[in-house]
Amino acid sequence: MKNSIQLFALLISSLCCFSANASNTEIANTDPLKVITVVKKAESYIKKNGIEKAIIELKNSDDIVIGNYNGMFFVSPLHPELIGKNQFSYKDPTGALVVQEEINKAKAGGGWLKGRWRKNSLTGKYQCRKIYILPVARNYFIGSWYHYSSDKPGVCLI
């Protein structure tokens, strides 16, 4: 029983503070399984505590986005200036409606979106960024990402 309580306390501690452990790393790896793990931990936290508490707890996260199907973002470490602003019609420099793509992926059950050429906020260099999206709490979705190099600048094949 004592070991179960300690294990539960460790699990809760890791769920409450998982973004702090990734501070300034922007998931500094190219391991898709680590990205999925971060998203699954956020999903678990939301299921246990609710979306409202998760938004408060994760607002300073370095590696999680939380948005809704209307295009509003509540957690956005790469673009904190856009929190609370509707991004449904946002187009990236290539003209892609990226928020609509994320919403559609969430509505379809979640998964990976093809990589896009983006500036890595940690290095200042452009790389491919691939994002994993998961639907949660009715009409919300969460996501996380990783950067990877491309053999051809601007071309992200995966």
Q: What is the pLDDT of residue 81?
A: 87
pLDDT at 30: 64
Residue 8 lies in a domain: yes
Burial level of 155, CB count in 10 A (0-12/13-18/19+)?
exposed
Residue 115 is part of which domain span? 2-148
pLDDT of res. 153? 80
In a domain? residue 72: yes
Say which CATH number the domain at 56 has: 3.30.450.20
In a domain, 88, yes or no: yes
Q: How many domains does the chain have?
A: 1
> Does residue 141 belong to any structural domain of this protein?
yes
Residue 110 covered by a domain: yes
Residue 158 inside a domain? The answer is no
Which ranges in the chain belong to alpha helices (H)?
2-21, 32-49, 51-58, 98-107
- Residue 88 has which token pair? 């449904």
Cβ neighbours of residue 66 closer than 8 Å, sequence gap 6 or more: 42, 51, 54, 55, 58, 73, 74, 75, 76, 140, 141, 142
**153 occurs within a structural domain:** no
Per-residue pLDDT of the chain (158 residues; tens, 9 = 90+): 433 333 323 333 333 334 333 333 444 456 899 999 999 999 999 999 999 999 999 998 889 999 999 999 999 988 888 899 999 999 887 888 999 999 999 999 999 998 888 877 778 888 888 999 999 988 999 999 998 888 888 888 88
Residue 155, in any domain of the structure: no
Amino acid (one-letter) located at 64: I
- C-alpha span between 23 and 97 (Å, rounded): 29
